[in-house]
Chains A and B, each alone.
Chain A
Amino acid sequence: MEASSLTQQFFQQLINGISLGSIYALIALGYTMVYGIIRLINFAHGDIYMLGAYAGYFATTFFKMSFFPALIFSMVVASTVGMLIERLAYRPLRGAPKIAILITAIGVSLLLEYGGMILVTPQPRTFPELFSTATYNFMGLVVNSQQIVILVVSLVLMFILTYVVNHTKVGKAMRAVSFDTDAARLMGINVDRIISFTFAIGSSLAAAAGILVGIYYNSIDPLMGIMPGLKAFVAAVLGGIGVIPGAMVGGVLLGVIEALVSGFLSSTFRDAAAFIILIVILLFRPAGLFGKNIREKV
């Protein structure tokens, strides 16, 4: 292959990677916020994303909604379910050993996946086309309208999230709880409510990611959440778990790396790439790219 087409392919994969990566980033935000606030790897988060995709599917096919109402609808559904899960499964275990909570999270995840299979059948469904697909040629690179929608929606959502976390009272409370739960409680913050709120926000972002993926790949199924869920977790670890900008950068970075691996090596190794990054990060810089090293207290 000559050099110019090689660079062209590189930039093409870069574009694909960024749009895929912004979806990972949206899911990773939920992981990172929940982890930051109650130190739980919420394994069920990937399945919330699946739930969001299905909510979007039913909103558009059954209720004939257009894109934005469907997006809002599925974000609301997912945040309700997220809060419900927190209330029923995780809250009774506050203060329990970490492993017990982690296993509960695995249980919730299995419940959503297979309960979902019973409710909506395991067959993949075709996600309706909400936009007419237009492709734009730009200096020999191909960008389609879905990729632009994905990028714009994710950027807007991330902007809103950053604003909420940094400039509102709830955001301040969230940061306080994640910094020191006990001190936050002493300052009169209703910790349980803040945790609920965090689950709601995280789940709604995952639901948005679900709809965007539905639009991008046109196909959804009850087990679609497993792999993106795990990869988004990798993205959160890559960026530094508990750090919000870290999750965004980590997500996009992971998307780009995956796209490059599948473009230049082999698409079957794509899934392995994420896990190899995970192991390398965990071994050499467990705090992630943006995290601070905190010494463990004895």
Chain B
Amino acid sequence: MKRDLMGIVGAVALYALLMGLIESEVIGAFWQLNIVLICINIILAVSLNLITGFTGQFSIGHAGFMAVGAYLSAVFTVKLGLPYIVGILAGAAGAAILGFAIGLPTLRLKGDYLAIATLGLGEIIRITILNIPYVGGASGLMGIPRYTTFTWAFFLMVITVLFIKNFINSSHGRACISIRENEIAAEAMGVDTTKYKVIAFTIGATFAGVAGGLFSHYFYIAHPASFTFMKSFDILTMVVLGGMGSITGSITTAILLTYISAELASYPEWRMVIYALLLIVLMIYRPQGLFGNKELSLKLFSRIMGGGQRGAAENK
């Protein structure tokens, strides 16, 4: 609890700093956009890390849940004229329900098969949306007001990270980690593996839905082409590079990769080539990702700054 408070205080301080820089126009419109994008990507990466990194269930359908959140929240705000927060919550709820409905049957599959099934499901979601004229079909749902501000993106990101961090440190989270470590042993110790896999999958889907809502309300449009499995690969890259089972790793790579793609905005092919090479080289030389399953902790910072909180490691 104390650590959470410190985290919140740190986050508020960071928020104040960034907001100050935005208000005083030190950070221009381009980087402001990318900061919002970083927040969205952090939500996506951390929520996928819960499924793939902590619970060990390889999912490549995350963009599908993001799409559900993006469209459903836009339907609530644009078509029904409800407030933004209702839209976000509806998007999250829709993604959660779908995550539950999809997770229950498919999480019986393992490894490669689960990966390919989630990829297929993500595409089915996208193609289904593509065929609903009510939400614009292939041309996308246009005319979404820009409700997402830096404040919204930042604090929803903080909520996501805190929620998932606390979930992982709870007994439920430990059950999830035990499934990743050894499913059979976990089952033998009395962990209801199906239940915890579905819980992790549903929570991950929920936050992907939140990210989708932020996304569509920032870019004025929800378009089916934004949610292909390439987007899922993008998110997966962040999780894998950062380290499967490291929240701070996901955050770091989400920031890093969003920054790289912003810098390479005019050379999109090179961006993907760099991603690809990073993935291959990393898998060969450091398959556990940059941070492995370690967390960047306050301990590390306090050591650097000479502060007195040696025992207050953020995690573990």
Contact = CB atoms under 8 A, between A and B. Distances in A.
A107 B276 CA distance: 4
Interface in B54-94: 58
10 contacts: A99-B58, A100-B287, A104-B280, A118-B270, A272-B127, A272-B128, A275-B127, A276-B124, A283-B106, A283-B108
B127 A118 contact: no
A5 B58 CA distance: 47
Bin chain B's interface residue count. 35 or more
Interface stretch (B111-119, B162-170, B302-310): B111-119
Interface in B107-161: 108-109, 111-113, 115-117, 119-121, 123-124, 127-128, 130-131, 138
Contacts of B240: 103
B287 to A, nearest CB: 4
Contacts of B16: none
Interface in B17-73: 58
Contact of A104 (B58, B236, B269, B279): B279
Contact of B273 (A101, A114, A275): A114
Given A110-B233, A122-B269, A286 B280 contact: no
A41 B116 contact: yes
Interface stretch (A90-98, A178-186, A197-205, A242-250): A90-98
B112 A286 contact: no
Contacts of A102: 58, 111-112, 115
Contact of B127 (A106, A109, A269, A278): A269
A82 B24 CA distance: 54
Chain A at the B interface: mostly helix, strand, loop or mixed? helix
Interface residues of A, number: 44
A266 B273 contact: no
Contact of B106 (A96, A268, A274, A279): A279
Contact of A97 (B272, B276, B287): B287
Contacts of A274: 120
B193 to A, nearest CB: 14
A73 interface: no
A234 B108 CA distance: 18
B124 A286 contact: no
B105 interface: yes
B113 A104 contact: no
Q: Which residue of A41, A96, A99, A107 has the most chain B CB atoms within 10 A of its CB atom? A: A107
Interface in B211-261: 233, 236, 240, 244
A110 B275 CA distance: 8
A70 interface: no
